[in-house]
Chains A and B, each alone.
Chain A
Amino acid sequence: MNKGQIDRLIGQVSKPVRYMGNEYNMVEKDPASVEIRFAFAFPDVYEIGMSHLGMKILYHLMNEREDTYCERVFAPWPDMETKMREANLPLFALETKDPVSEFDFLGFTLQYELSYTNVLNMLDLARIPLLARDRTLDDPFVIAGGPCAFNCEPLADFLDLVALGEGEELIGDLLDVYKQWKSEGGDRDAFLLRAARIPGIYVPKFYDVEYMDDGRVKAVTPNRDGVPSRVVKRVVKDLDRVYFPDRIIVPFMDIVHDRIMLEIFRGCTKGCRFCQAGMIYRPVRERSLETLLDLADKLIRSTGYEEISLSSLSTGDYSRLEDLVRDLMARHWSERVSLSLPSLRLDSFAREYIEQVQRVKKTGLTFAPEAGTQRLRNVINKGITQEDLSRSLTDAFGSGWNNVKLYFMIGLPTETTEDLEGIAYLARMAVDCYYGVEKNKREKGLKITISTSSFVPKPFTPFQWEPQDTIEELREKQHMLQKLLKLKHVDYSWHDPETSFLEAVMARGDRRIGQVMLTAWQNGARFDSWAEHFSLGRWMDAFTECGLDPYFYAYRKRDRDEVLPWDHIDTGVSKAFLWSEYMKALNEETTPDCRLSCTGCGVRRLGEGLC
C-alpha cells in the first residue's frame, strides 16, 4: 500500500492528524542509510503517547545515532483499526509510513497495566507473531520498558526482551550488541543470549517458572548458562551528563500534556508506602539549576511552546525550586511563557511560589493528602499533617485561587469508617479555610473537588503482600463518601472499582496471566483504560476459560516467605526493606524522608556515590 492510499484511509477516520506525522522537529532520515530501524510504540492513542517524556527522550537519543532511525507508532483508535483491517493495511510508523514488521526492533513502553491488550493488538495489526517463540529472523525483536516492565510476567510470552530501569545508557549498549550480532549472523537466540548479558536486560524465555499445587510460584530459575539469576535495573548516575533532548516534537493536535516537560530530578525520598514510582525510581538524582535553565532556553527556542512544566515525582522537594521558578519567570516572561508546577507537595508549598506562578497563569491547584486521618497517613507514610494542609489552603485562597482539588485513596490497608469520615472532615476544613480569608482578598466562586482513586497494591512496594478491597467494598465506601460529601461548594468524583480490580490482577500477575490476556483480547478487549471500551465481563470469561482465579491475584494476602513472581527482578530496593516498611505500616509507624538520614533501602548497592 502506498502513501497516497494510506492518506486516503486516514481521511476517513476521526482525528486523522493522529496518524499524519510530519510535526515540527520530527526526525527525517533515509531508511536505506541506517543499519537499525527502531519503532518506538506507545500502546495507547497519539495524544496520550505523545505526552510521555520517556518517549521523547529515547526517540531523540536514538536518532542522534547515525546508524539508527527511530520512528513512532501509537495504538490506532478502534475506527482506524477497523479501516486498517478492511483495507489490509498493516501497522505503520508515523515517520515513513513503512510497516513496523520491517523494522529491527519494536519497543513498547509499559506505563500502565490496562494498556497490555493494546500491545497484543498492535502486534497483531503489525502481523508480527504474538508469541515470542513463534517469531523468526524475518520478524523484529519485541522489547518493552517503562515502570510496568519491572513486573512484566503477564506479558512475558509476548516479549523477546525487557529493559529494566533507565534507558538512556542501556539502549546504546543494546543497539551496539545488535549491530555486532547482525554483522556476524546467527539465530535469534544468539542475539538474545548476548543481550541478556547487558546489565538491565531481561530475556523472559531464559527463565523457567515452577508453580506449587496451590498456584503460588515455587521458583524462577535461569535455563541457560551466562544468564544472571537476578536482573538488576539500570540507573543513570549523573543527570547533568546524561542525554536530554534540546528539541522535541511539537504536535499539531492538542495532546494531554502539551508543553515542555523539564525533568528536574528522578527518584523520590519521601517513601510513601503505596507508591511504586517512589520505590522503583530510587535514588534521588537532581539536575543542576544551570543545566535546567540552559535546557529551558533551548527548548523554548526550538519548540515555541508557551508553557513549561517542572517534572518529577515531588517537585516541591527540588533543592533549588525557589531559584529555578524565579529565574525561569525572569527569563521567559517577555515571551509570555508560563510555568506550571504539578504534584506540588503540601509541606514544601510556600506562598511565594504561588505568587510567582500566578504572574502568568492561574490554573486549579491540586493537593494529595491521600488519606483522611493522621493515623492512616502514618500507615502509608504520607508525611502531611492537617495543619500543613490548612496553612497551604489558606495561602492559596488568600492568593486568589478558588478552585482546589484534593486527591485521596480509598481501600488503603487498615482503613476504617473513621478514615473515610476524615476525608469529609478535610473537605469541610477546606471550605472553612476559604471563608477564613478576608472577603476582599478571596476570589468568588469556591469549588473544592474531592477525588478518590482505589488503592491497587503494586509489586516492589511495602504493600505488595496486601490484598485489595473487593469491588463491593470499594463501591460501599464510594456510596458512603457520596453521602458524606453532599456539601456546598464540594464535588466528589471517584474511579470505577472494576478497572482498579483488573489493574491489581495484572500488576501482581504471573506468566499464566498471559493466556488470559490473549483470550480476553481475542474476545475483543483493547483500550481497557478507556471506560467506553472496558468490559469486566469479557475478562471474567477469559479467566474462566483459562481456569484461573483472578481473586487469587487481587484479594489474597501473601506470606513473608512466598516467592513473588517478580522476585528475580532487582530494583535495588531490597525485599527485606519492603517487609520492614510493611510491618511499620501496620504498627502506624512512620519512616522519615531518607534525605535526612539513610533508611537502608538497599539502592546504594547499585553504585558508588549514587546517594
Chain B
Amino acid sequence: MRVLLEYMIGDRVRFISHLDFMRTIQRTIRRAGIPVAYSEGFNPHPKLSFGLPLPVGVTSSAEYMDIILSSPMDTEETKDLLNTHLPRGIAVTAAVGISPSAPSLMSLIKRADYRITLDTALPGLESGIQSFLQQAEIPYDKPGKKGVNRINIRDSVFSVEAGRDARREILVSMKTGGSSSVKPEVIAEKIAELAGVEAHVKMELTIHRTGLYMHYDGRWVTPLMLKEG
C-alpha cells in the first residue's frame, strides 16, 4: 500500500535540513509503529520518497512525501499516529492512498508558491513588482558546479504579486526543477533592487512556502489529486 502524506513545517523547526527531516520521519515512523516496508540487504532502509526539498530556514504549509506500507493501514489512522509522534512544529495535514504505479512526486511537482516577507516595509515594493513583470529579460548569474551560469529569471516565475501588506509581502509562484530555477530570495532581491534598494544591501526576509503543485488536465492541482478511488 502506498500512502501520500501532506505535511507542514512550522517556525519551531524551520532550520532543519532536508536530510534532518528524512531522519526525523524515519524515527517518527518507528515510534508510531507504522508498518513501513523496508528494502532488502545489510543496510535496510524504509521505503519513503519525498517531493521537493525545503530550503533550510523556510517554513511551509504543504509539503509532500509518500511511504510504502508492508501491510495496509487506514490512512486517517496513519495520519493520527504520525501526528502523535512527530516533533512539535511538524504535522501531517492529509493522508491519501495512491496507486503503487503513480510517478514519483519529485517528477510530478512543477510549481512552488512562496510568501516572502520583508523585515522592513518598502514603499516602492508594488512598483518593483510591476517593473519585474514588465521586463522580458532579467539576467542573473546563477552559481553552479562549473562556475556561474547566466540565466533569465523572468522565465523562472509564473506570477508575482504583492501580498496583503503591499509594502512588505511578495507572493511568488515559481517553476521548480530545470536550469532556470532559482531560490525565492533571488526574486525578492531583484524586485527590491527594481524598487530602488541598492544591490549590496542585504535584506532580512522571512520565506514561507504556501504550496506545491502539479499540472493535471490543464490546471494546477496539489498532489492530493493522486488519491485513488
Are the chains A and B members of one assembly?
yes
Residues of A within 8 A of B (CB): 7-8, 10-11, 16-17, 19-20, 22-24, 250, 252-254, 300-306, 335-337, 358, 360-362
In the complex, A163 Cα to B42 Cα: how many Å?
A: 44
Q: Does B88 contact A (CB under 8 A)?
A: yes
Contact between A24 and B57 (Cβ–Cβ < 8 Å)? no
Contact between A361 and B42 (Cβ–Cβ < 8 Å)? yes
Q: Does B23 contact A (CB under 8 A)?
A: yes
Q: How many residues on B have C-beta within 8 angstroms of the other chain's C-beta atoms?
A: 33
A-B contact pairs, 17 of them (CB 8 A): A7-B11, A11-B57, A17-B16, A17-B56, A20-B13, A22-B87, A24-B28, A250-B27, A252-B16, A253-B20, A254-B19, A300-B30, A304-B32, A306-B30, A336-B44, A337-B30, A361-B43
Contact with A along B86-112 (1 / 0, CB 8 A): 111100000000000000000000000
In the complex, A362 Cα to B26 Cα: how many Å?
A: 20
| A24: B residues at CB distance < 8 A | 24, 27-28, 86-87
Partner of A22, one of B23, B56, B89: B89
Contact between B56 and A16 (Cβ–Cβ < 8 Å)? yes
Q: Tell me the smallest distance from the CB of B120 to a CB of chain A, in Å.
A: 12
Q: Does B85 contact A (CB under 8 A)?
A: yes
Known A252-B16, A304-B27; 8 more pairs at CB < 8 Å? A10-B15, A11-B15, A20-B16, A252-B20, A252-B24, A304-B29, A336-B44, A336-B46
Contact between B85 and A17 (Cβ–Cβ < 8 Å)? no
Contact between A304 and B26 (Cβ–Cβ < 8 Å)? yes
In the complex, A302 Cα to B20 Cα: how many Å?
A: 18
Q: Give 5 closest A-B pairs by Cβ, nearest first.
A: A304-B27, A304-B30, A304-B31, A16-B15, A252-B20
Q: Does B12 contact A (CB under 8 A)?
A: yes
Q: Tell me the smallest distance from the CB of A229 to a CB of chain B, in Å.
A: 50
In the complex, A16 Cα to B46 Cα: how many Å?
A: 27
| B26: A residues at CB distance < 8 A | 304, 306
Q: Does B216 contact A (CB under 8 A)?
A: no
In the complex, A358 Cα to B17 Cα: how many Å?
A: 31
In the complex, A301 Cα to B57 Cα: how many Å?
A: 30
| A22: B residues at CB distance < 8 A | 12-13, 87-89
In the complex, A358 Cα to B20 Cα: how many Å?
A: 27
Contact with A along B180-191 (1 / 0, CB 8 A): 000000000000
Q: Does B204 contact A (CB under 8 A)?
A: yes
In the complex, A519 Cα to B176 Cα: how many Å?
A: 54
Q: Tell me the smallest distance from the CB of A98 to a CB of chain B, in Å.
A: 16
In the complex, A20 Cα to B17 Cα: how many Å?
A: 12
| A23: B residues at CB distance < 8 A | 87
Contact with A along B31-65 (1 / 0, CB 8 A): 11000001000111010000000001100000000
Contact between B89 and A306 (Cβ–Cβ < 8 Å)? no
Contact between B15 and A304 (Cβ–Cβ < 8 Å)? no
| B204: A residues at CB distance < 8 A | 8
| B12: A residues at CB distance < 8 A | 20, 22
In the complex, A301 Cα to B16 Cα: how many Å?
A: 23
Q: Tell me the smallest distance from the CB of A608 to a CB of chain B, in Å.
A: 42
In the complex, A303 Cα to B13 Cα: how many Å?
A: 18
Q: Tell me the smallest distance from the CB of B171 to a CB of chain A, in Å.
A: 21
Contact between B30 and A335 (Cβ–Cβ < 8 Å)? yes
| B14: A residues at CB distance < 8 A | 7, 20
| A336: B residues at CB distance < 8 A | 38, 44, 46
Instruction: Output the nearest chain B residue to A28 by Cβ-Cβ distance.
Output: B88
In the complex, A335 Cα to B88 Cα: how many Å?
A: 24
In the complex, A250 Cα to B87 Cα: how many Å?
A: 9
Indicate the member of B12, B27, B86 with the most A CB atoms within 10 Å. Answer: B27
In the complex, A22 Cα to B32 Cα: how many Å?
A: 19
Contact between A305 and B27 (Cβ–Cβ < 8 Å)? yes
Instruction: Output the nearest chain B residue to A250 by Cβ-Cβ distance.
Output: B27
| B11: A residues at CB distance < 8 A | 7
Q: Tell me the smallest distance from the CB of A72 to a CB of chain B, in Å.
A: 16
- Knowing A17-B15, A20-B15 are in contact, say whether A301-B31 is a contact too (CB < 8 A): yes
Instruction: Output the nearest chain B residue to A253 by Cβ-Cβ distance.
Output: B20
| B57: A residues at CB distance < 8 A | 11, 16
In the complex, A305 Cα to B89 Cα: how many Å?
A: 20
| B13: A residues at CB distance < 8 A | 20, 22, 252
Instruction: Output the nearest chain A residue to B16 by Cβ-Cβ distance.
Output: A252
Q: Tell me the smallest distance from the CB of B50 to a CB of chain A, in Å.
A: 16
Q: Tell me the smallest distance from the CB of A46 to a CB of chain B, in Å.
A: 12
In the complex, A146 Cα to B12 Cα: how many Å?
A: 32
In the complex, A361 Cα to B45 Cα: how many Å?
A: 12
Indicate the member of A22, A301, A335 with the most B CB atoms within 10 Å. Answer: A22
In the complex, A254 Cα to B20 Cα: how many Å?
A: 7
In the complex, A239 Cα to B33 Cα: how many Å?
A: 30
In the complex, A155 Cα to B166 Cα: how many Å?
A: 57
In the complex, A302 Cα to B84 Cα: how many Å?
A: 12
In the complex, A305 Cα to B30 Cα: how many Å?
A: 8
In the complex, A22 Cα to B28 Cα: how many Å?
A: 15
Q: Tell me the smallest distance from the CB of A250 to a CB of chain B, in Å.
A: 6
Partner of B27, one of A253, A306, A362: A306
Q: Tell me the smallest distance from the CB of B35 to a CB of chain A, in Å.
A: 10
Q: Tell me the smallest distance from the CB of A356 to a CB of chain B, in Å.
A: 14
| A250: B residues at CB distance < 8 A | 24, 27, 87
Instruction: Output the nearest chain A residue to B205 by Cβ-Cβ distance.
Output: A11
| A8: B residues at CB distance < 8 A | 119, 204
Indicate the member of A10, A19, A252, A335 with the most B CB atoms within 10 Å. Answer: A252
| B87: A residues at CB distance < 8 A | 22-24, 250, 252
Partner of A252, one of B23, B31, B88: B23
Instruction: Output the nearest chain B residue to A20 by Cβ-Cβ distance.
Output: B15
Q: Tell me the smallest distance from the CB of B7 to a CB of chain A, in Å.
A: 15
| A305: B residues at CB distance < 8 A | 27, 30
| A300: B residues at CB distance < 8 A | 30
In the complex, A362 Cα to B42 Cα: how many Å?
A: 7
In the complex, A466 Cα to B21 Cα: how many Å?
A: 50
In the complex, A22 Cα to B15 Cα: how many Å?
A: 11
In the complex, A250 Cα to B19 Cα: how many Å?
A: 14
Indicate the member of A24, A300, A301 with the most B CB atoms within 10 Å. Answer: A24
In the complex, A306 Cα to B42 Cα: how many Å?
A: 13
